[in-house]
Each structure stands twice: as structure tokens, then as C-alpha cells.
Amino acid sequence: MASCKHVFQISGIKIPDKKKVLVQGIQLLGGKYIGGSVYQHASTHLIIPQVLPSEKFLAACAAGKWVVTPDYVLDSVKNGSWLAEGPYEVAISTASSSTFYPVRQWREKVASGRLKGAFQGWRVVLMVQEPTRRAMFKRLLKAGRAKVYHGPPPSHASVTHVMAKSITEGSKSHNAPCYPLSCVVQHLFGSNCVDMKFNITDDPAETKMASFVDADSSKLETELRDNIIKQEGRPRLRFLEFLDYHDPYRPQFQVDMPDRCFLLLSIYLLCFIIVLLFLQATETDFSNVGSMIECGLFIEALDSIRSVVFPGLLPPAMYLVSLLEYAQQGNATSVFLRNLQQVMYNLLVTNPPWMAPSTVKKYFTQVLQCPRCKMGTWPFLETAISYCLSSRVTCHPLPGPALPTLLHFHSDLLAFFLKLFQGELHSVTTRDFVRPEGTGVSQASASGSLLYGTFWTVWERSTLLSRAVKQLTQLLIKAAIEGCTEREEKQELHLVDTLLELLSVLVEFWCQQHFKLNQSLVEKGLKDLAEHFAVISQDVSPVVLAELVVRIRSTRLKLMMADAVFRNLCCRNGFTVGDEPLSLKKMVLSYLPALGSLAQSPASAYLRTGPTSLSCTSQETGCSTQSSFVNGRSPEKENIPRGLKRVNAADHAGWTPLHEACNHGSTSCVEALLRHHPAPVLNNQVGGVSPLHDALINGHMDIAKMLLEHAGSVLLRQTCGDGRTALDLVSAASQREELFHSARVGDSALRNKGTEVLNLPLLEAGSSLLAHIIFSYQQERGLPSRAQPSDKSNSLAYRLVRALETHSLQKVTQGWTDQRAVRLMEDVEMQLELGRGRYLEQVSQAVKRCKGENTQFLMEILEDLKSRGEVLLAVT
């Protein structure tokens, strides 16, 4: 049966999506996949991207199993049946020969029946005390058919090898030759093990393959994971910020211990007063208020209510609803409207729903809805926003054209909603509201909060992008557009700022409720919201969008919004960046070159796209047509052939036209694509394969040189999904020199071409977005804070740097399952590289010479990143 002949294990592939594709391919062809982190004897094939010092690889070699690259499965799936393994057997280039197949000799001996395993006939006393390492070496030796003894062997057994971490008198007591652990690799690969750089050393100070990976590496991953969780769970809104208090002599968001003690004391006193008055309050006769309202004496009714607003005492909801209805009709005076707002705020302060019984929450729910339609809180809030936008789209007709007094009333109403939601957010996150025992007031419940009830139905709470949230973002975009044409009035109302703050509060609230249980759900929710925002705002000027992003107060939301808008902006101007998770490496190697491309966009190009503009989807597999808010068409966009950036929808693999041309060796097609403006993206990867890798894998050197002459040496540093550069794909020295020469030609052409900024507004918008991406990323996902010099050896940052200085990134993160920790470790490595002065050539000369304020600010941030890297290097 096919399932018996093809039983797979996988090693060295940490990206879940890549592993998932391989497992699905194996199962599709009738094979079997065995998971786990250790070698399994039942396996027949091992898949690895490259030769690596892992237990599975060494054990498979010793057992004579097939060790193949991932392409074996991928190509077999395309073929519809299993292919011959020979062409896919893992190889390595060494100094002694151009290509060496480290597994083949043992596989052929086992297949021919000459041996059962590489260690057949060995009887080994394994003198390794550390349990994890001892178990690993035992599995490795047994895979090669050795007999392994941990303690003294039976009297009849003849020991052939004594293997120990270090040769001591104890290891010589078995009357058998003593060997270091490294003899395992030497026996398997002979002299080639030097070129393969496998280190299983008997040095007691360091055992590079096993000791670090099994102990220190695992500990580092745990510490990084704990640090990330702590960073995600920190309170985002402080109480003094909620009260709109800012000490001019102290940075915002900081509260020292005396302030905190005073604050807690004030809260205790407030709670005591609330409880006392709540218990002593007597029934108040509101019948006169009802009579006044029936007689149309709204001013008198409001005055009566103002005099009896106390903690624990609430006027009947129907009376407030009647007063709100009167206020919306347009006949109320400005004094009445201000007094009504004061009553609402007094109710919020004296009876905050996040500190009161559930009946108070129900009371606010009854009051805060349209007095006519009574369809819930969101329609009431949406009506207030729409009226401020002079929109006729409201739940029921309101006086028009918009009256100045009603504009201010609805603007104040929005501010009231914001204050209410801020209080609920603070209550469920910081837990600073301390309730005395016996008050009968339960802890704030997020599930029953007004925030949840306003923006999410019961069936929508597992998604951030609910129907109401979508409508809020659309209203925000409309407010930003109208704010461009009616600056004075909109600035007076501060509508955009209020909506941004409202969006920040609800995002923080939702994320706080879900991140402890499902971090991936939070990441997906933020990404969906940011992508939705980028799509519906793609017809807004990049300058306006950049200003909008800057004003977002939530760093978590700002990071995702800025990233989505920046990627969308690049796509609209002919430079597509990948959809891999955001990291410092991605910003440096992808976003900085993209910024240079924005600087070279034609000055005549509009900063708004046309009514059928292209936007990258979240999967970056193509572009979709979206309707626009602003009519206007760019002549430059008119000349872009449809499908230049599109991918192949037939096999859903994501291949662009440039990939296809490079794969099939169509030189004329590649030339035509590179001549067009905007040119296709050369560093875009699909399945870990860039156009340059695609050309070299298929032997098209002429196309490879053409790509390098167009994009320069930056392409030579790009690695594929298997970690190989373009130079790793060619073996002849002459071919390498040809590629180097073409890259130098490309670098020279780029230096001569990219020295002038052709589109300053577009560059300034992109620089602002990228600066805030980097800044917010450092705040949200940055490195752990560095300790003082006296304690640097115990700091996490110091140990991360030491690990990377001693071992490769791949070895440090080998076996890690938390991809967030892996990305943070990659960030440490990138920061060290920046500290060494590398990768800064990603910044084009045009960007470096630009005198724009935002671009110069970005350059300062990059210089700060370099300085941080230098500090990290100094501590080692």
C-alpha cells in the first residue's frame, strides 16, 4: 500500500502554513504524516529544507531513510502521484566537492541489505547524565541499530564504544575504547562533517547541538512568551486620563505612588458616599415632572430633575426620553440643551453604570436610544454622528438644514457617549474601582456592558469587525473627507477626533476581553478591521490618511491601521509588499525600498485614486475593485494594464505574471514587464519563491541577470522559504560572478536614478505612516527593557543577544512553537545587524536627501534603531 511506503516526518519547517501544505499534500497522495519533535522509527521519509543538525536528520541518516526537500511533496502533488525521490534527496555544497549527498551512502547500504543501520554492531555504554540529552543520543544510536547501555552492561556483553561528554577515569573503566559524542557525526559523514559545521562537542562549557537547544533555548522561549503576554495585558487607559487630567510637569499616562494613593482614597470615599446615600435615599415624587412634560413645560420639568439627581436616585427613564425628543425637534434653546447635557453628565457621575447594580445599566440602555424609534443605542449614536455630518441618513427625519444649536448638542452627546464607554473600558481593564464589602454592587461585567450592547450583537462578539463597527469606520472616513473641505466648522466640532477616540476605546475593550483566551483571534480581528479601513479609505488622499493615523491614541490600533494603509498605498502605486506578519525585518527589507518607490512616483499622479481603484487583499493574492467616495481619475492609473498585479486564479497558488515569465524563461515578457511603469514587484514571494529564485531554479540565467540589473544587490540578500539566497542556487564560480556583476550594474543604475524626489506629498505621507509603524511596533512588540549595567547579565535582553552571538537564529529558535517569540527573536537579530551598520542601504538616496519634516523624522527613528543596536552589541 502507498501509505506503508510513504510515512513522513518533517524537521526544520517552523511556519505553520508551509507545514500544513506539506501535510495536506502527503495525505492527498495516500501517504502518512507522523508528528512529534523526536525521530520515529516507523517513518520512511524525512522532509527538511536543508541539512541541519537535528535529531531527526541524524537519525534518518543513520537508519538509511529517504531525506528529501519539501519540493518532493509539492511536485508530486502537481504530478498526481509520487515521483522518484532521487532528484529531491538533500544535498550540501562543501569545499572538497561541488555537491555532497550526506545521506545517500547509508541509504544505499541499508537498501542493498549490506547493513541494517549505520551503527550496526555497536554496543555502546552511554555516559551522559542529563536526561534529555541522554534520551536523544539513545534514540539516535538505536536508529542506526546500535545496542545502547546506560548502566553497566551484562557480563556476557562485549562493549565496543564508551561514549561520554568528556573522557574521564570513570569512562575508561569498561575496558573499551572511549569516544566523545562528536564521533557520531564523524562516523556518519567522515571528513565532510567539517564543511557541514556540525558541532556535537565534548567541551563541558558548551554543547551546541543539544544542551542549548534543550535547555537554554526552551527557557528563552518561555520568558519571551511571558513577556509578550504581560505586554499585551497591560492597562491601556489610566484613570486620570479618563478624567481628562494631565499634569503639565509629568509625562502623560504616568501616575506615581502618591497620586495613586490619593486616587484610591478618593475612590473609597466616593464609594462610601454612594452606598450611604443609596441606602438613605427615599422615594421621590416625580409626578409633577410628568405633568409638566404633558403640558409642554419642558424647561420647568428639566429644572425639577436637575435638583434631585443624587447617587442611587434616578428620575424615570421615560421623562428623560421625552426631554431628549424635545431637544431633537429643534425648538429648544441653547440654555435648555446645555442644562440637559449637565443632567446627563450628573447622572453618569453619581450613578456610573460600571459601579452600580445591573438595573442602572438597564436604565441607561432605556435612556440612550432614539426617543422615537427606540431601536437601541447604536442607531441613536449613529444618528448623532450623521447629523454632525449634515447627513440626511438618520433613523427618522431631523430638522434641516443642520441647526448650529443642534450640531453642538449632538457633538456634546457624542462626547457623553465617549466618556461613558471610557469608564466601562477602565472598569473592566484596570480594576482600580474598589468596592467596599456589603454594597451589593457586583464587579463590572464586560458581557453586560453598554459597550458590548452597542457595537456587538450576541452572535458577533467573537469578531471585532461587527456591523456597527463597520458603520462607525465608514462614518469616520466620511468625516475625514468632509473635514478637508470644511476645515473651520469641523475643527470646531472635533468630530474626527471624537470618532477616532471612540474607535480606539471599543477596540481596546474588545481586545482586552479576548487576548488571554485567544491571541490569534485578537490578531485576526485587528487585521480585519485595519484591512477594512484601508479598503474603504483608498480614495482618500494619503496626506489625509496619514494625519488620521497620527491622531489615533491606541498604539495597538495605530500600528495595525498604519500598516494596512501603508501597504495599500504601496499597492496603489505599483509596489506590492508581502502579507507575512509584521516584523522589524519586514519594515527594513520591504517597507524602506517601497518608500523609495513612492518617492519616485510621477509628480503628476493624483493623490486620490479613481472610482475603480485597486487594493490589495489581506492575502495579497490579488486586487479587488472597490467603489469610491471621491470621483476622480488619474491619467497615470488609466495606462496601467489590467492584471499587471493580478495573480493566477486558476490554481490559486498566487503566481504573478512575473513569476510565470521567470518560471517559463520568457525573456521578452520579463523585459516588457520591467519596462512598464509602475514595474512589477521583484522581491514579492509566493510560497517562499521570488521571481529571481524562480528563474535560477529553472536555469534561466539571462532572466536572473536582467532582474538584478533592474533591482540591484538587494535581491541577492533575499532568502527563499527554505532559507537559501539566490547564490545558493548556483554552484559554478563563473555564474556567481555573473550574478554579482549584474547586481553591481543594478546598484549603480539605482544610485543614479533615485536621487531626486518626484512626489514629495506622497513621500511625506508614506514617511509619516512608516515612522508611526516603527514607533508603535516598538511600544507594542518591542524588545524587553534593558537593565542597568550592574544587572545586565540577568536581563532578558542581554541573554537574547548572548544567545544570538553564540548560536545562529535557526538554532536558537529550533523547536519553538510560539511564532510571536520567534518574530521577537528575529527582531533582536535585525537590531543587531542595524547596529553593525548593515541594511541601511535599503533607504534610497532620494529619501535620505529629502528635507520634508516627516521624512526627516523617519530618518531620526532609523538612526535611533541603529543606536539601540549598537547598545545591544556593547553589552556583550
Please compute the mean of the pLDDT values over residues 234-244 and round it to a whole number: 52
161 has a pLDDT exceeding 90: no
Residue at 312: amino acid letter = G
Confidence of residue 1 (pLDDT cuts 50, 70, 90): very low
Three cell numbers written together for 700: 534561466
Q: How many CA atoms lie within 13 A of 594 on its CB side?
A: 28
Q: Which residue has the higher pLDDT, 718 or 43?
A: 43
Provide the angle, in degrees to the nearest 10, between the axes of the packed helices 701-711 and 733-753: 30
Please compute the mean of the pLDDT values over residues 858-870 and round it to a whole number: 89
> 350 phi and psi, to 5 degrees?
-85, -25
698 and 769 part of one domain? yes
User: What is the residue range of 835's domain?
Assistant: 784-875
CB 75 within 8 A of CB 84: no
Q: Is the peptide bond before 152 cis (omega within 30 degrees of 0)?
A: no
Q: Tell me which H or E stretch contains 610.
A: none
Which of 496-505, 668-677, 749-758: highest mean pLDDT? 496-505
Residue whose cell numbers read 533555548: 217
Which of 49-58, 185-194, 482-491: highest mean pLDDT? 49-58
SS3 letters across 32-70? EECCCCCCCCCCCEEECCCCCCCHHHHHHHHHCCEEECC
Q: How far apart are CA 96 and CA 90, in angstroms?
A: 17
In the chain, the percentage of residues whose pLDDT exceeds 70 is: 73
- Long-range Cβ contact pairs of 830-834 (< 8 A, separation 24 or more): 830/583, 830/584, 830/585, 830/588, 831/584, 831/783, 831/865, 831/868, 831/869, 831/872, 832/801, 832/804, 832/869, 832/872, 832/873, 833/869, 834/588, 834/865, 834/866, 834/868, 834/869
Residue at 315 is within a domain: yes
Cβ of 358: how many Cβ atoms within 10 Å?
A: 12
Please compute the mean of the pLDDT values over residues 286-315 and round it to a whole number: 78
Residue at 482: amino acid letter = E
- What pLDDT does 299 receive? 86
Lowest mean pLDDT, pick from 483-487, 589-593, 640-644, 841-845: 640-644
- What pLDDT does 840 receive? 78
- What pLDDT does 148 receive? 87
49 and 66 part of one domain? yes
713 and 796 part of one domain? no
144 and 184 part of one domain? yes
Task: Answer with the one of 753, 781, 809 that is the final residue of a domain.
Answer: 781
Residue at 234 is within a domain: no
Please compute the mean of the pLDDT values over residues 311-333 and round it to a whole number: 83
Confidence of residue 626 (pLDDT cuts 50, 70, 90): very low
Task: Answer with the one of 65, 81, 112 that is the final residue of a domain.
Answer: 112
696 has a pLDDT exceeding 80: yes
CB 504 within 8 A of CB 552: yes
Confidence of residue 687 (pLDDT cuts 50, 70, 90): low
Name the residue among 516, 543, 510, 501 with its Cα closest to residue 529.
510
Residues 6+ positions from 14 with CB-CB distance below 8 Å: 813, 816, 819, 822
Q: For 635-653, what is each residue's pLDDT tens digit?
A: 333 333 444 444 444 544 5
Cβ of 347: how many Cβ atoms within 10 Å?
A: 22
457 and 555 part of one domain? no
Q: Bridge-partner residues for 32, per DSSP?
A: 7
- Three-state secondary structure call for residue 666: coil
Residue at 815 is within a domain: yes
- What pLDDT does 658 receive? 82
Lowest mean pLDDT, pick from 279-283, 411-415, 663-667: 279-283
CB 412 within 8 A of CB 344: no
> 393 phi and psi, to 5 degrees?
-85, 85
Per the prediction, the chain carries an average pLDDT of 76
176 and 322 part of one domain? no
Q: What CATH number is attached to the domain comprising 16? A: 3.40.50.10190
496 and 362 part of one domain? yes
The DSSP annotation for 259-318 comes to: HHHHHHHHHHHHHHHHHHHHHH------HHHHHHHHTT-HHHHHHHHHTT-BTTB---HH
Lowest mean pLDDT, pick from 203-207, 380-384, 733-737, 741-745: 203-207
Q: Is the peptide bond before 401 cis (omega within 30 degrees of 0)?
A: yes
249 has a pLDDT exceeding 70: no
Q: Bridge-partner residues for 310, per DSSP?
A: 313
- 675, with CB counted inside 10 A (0-12, 13-18, 19+), is exposed
661 and 770 part of one domain? yes
- What pLDDT does 255 receive? 39
478 has a pLDDT exceeding 50: yes
- What pLDDT does 242 receive? 45
Report CA-CA distances (Å) from 467 to 152, 461, 537, 795, 814.
71, 11, 17, 45, 42
Which of 65-69, 304-308, 347-351, 575-579: highest mean pLDDT? 65-69
654 has a pLDDT exceeding 80: no
Q: Which residue has the higher pLDDT, 680 or 550?
A: 550
837 and 849 part of one domain? yes
Three cell numbers written together for 589: 527589507
Residues 6+ positions from 120 with CB-CB distance below 8 Å: 144, 145, 146
Q: Bridge-partner residues for 33, per DSSP?
A: 8
Residue at 600 is within a domain: no
Confidence of residue 205 (pLDDT cuts 50, 70, 90): very low
Which of 241-250, 538-547, 576-585, 668-677: highest mean pLDDT? 538-547
484 has a pLDDT exceeding 90: no
Q: For 333-363, what is each residue's pLDDT tens digit?
A: 888 988 888 888 888 888 888 777 778 888 8
Name the residue among 728, 799, 808, 725 with its Cα closest to residue 199.
808
Residue at 476 is within a domain: yes
575 has a pLDDT exceeding 70: yes
- What pLDDT does 167 receive? 55
Three cell numbers written together for 553: 491614541
* Total count of domains within the chain: 5
- What pLDDT does 4 receive? 60
368 has a pLDDT exceeding 70: yes
Please compute the mean of the pLDDT values over residues 287-316 and round it to a whole number: 79
Cβ of 607: how many Cβ atoms within 10 Å?
A: 18
Three cell numbers written together for 248: 503639565
617 has a pLDDT exceeding 50: no
CB 117 within 8 A of CB 110: yes
- What pLDDT does 500 receive? 92
- What pLDDT does 252 receive? 41
Confidence of residue 166 (pLDDT cuts 50, 70, 90): low
Residue at 70 is within a domain: yes
842 has a pLDDT exceeding 70: yes
- What pLDDT does 210 receive? 40
Residue at 232 is within a domain: no
Q: How far apart are CA 232 and CA 559, in angstroms?
A: 14
Please compute the mean of the pLDDT values over residues 801-818 and round it to a whole number: 80
> 614 phi and psi, to 5 degrees?
-95, 135
Q: How far apart are CA 28 and CA 24, in angstroms?
A: 6
Report CA-CA distances (Å) from 310 to 341, 357, 363, 783.
16, 15, 15, 49
Residue at 821 is within a domain: yes
Q: Which residue has the higher pLDDT, 199 or 55?
A: 55
66 and 127 part of one domain? no
572 and 699 part of one domain? yes
96 has a pLDDT exceeding 60: no
Q: For 208-228, what is each residue's pLDDT tens digit?
A: 344 444 446 778 888 888 888
- What pLDDT does 202 receive? 35
The DSSP annotation for 214-233 comes to: IIIHHHHHHHHHHHHHHHHH
The DSSP annotation for 306-323 comes to: HTT-BTTB---HHHHHHH
Report CA-CA distances (Å) from 75 to 32, 45, 51, 412, 816.
17, 15, 20, 64, 28
- What pLDDT does 554 receive? 86
Task: Answer with the one of 83, 112, 141 that is the final residue of a domain.
Answer: 112
Confidence of residue 822 (pLDDT cuts 50, 70, 90): confident
796 and 826 part of one domain? yes
Residues 6+ positions from 473 with CB-CB distance below 8 Å: 503, 529, 532, 533, 536
Q: Which residue has the higher pLDDT, 282 or 10?
A: 10
235 has a pLDDT exceeding 70: no
CB 835 within 8 A of CB 869: yes
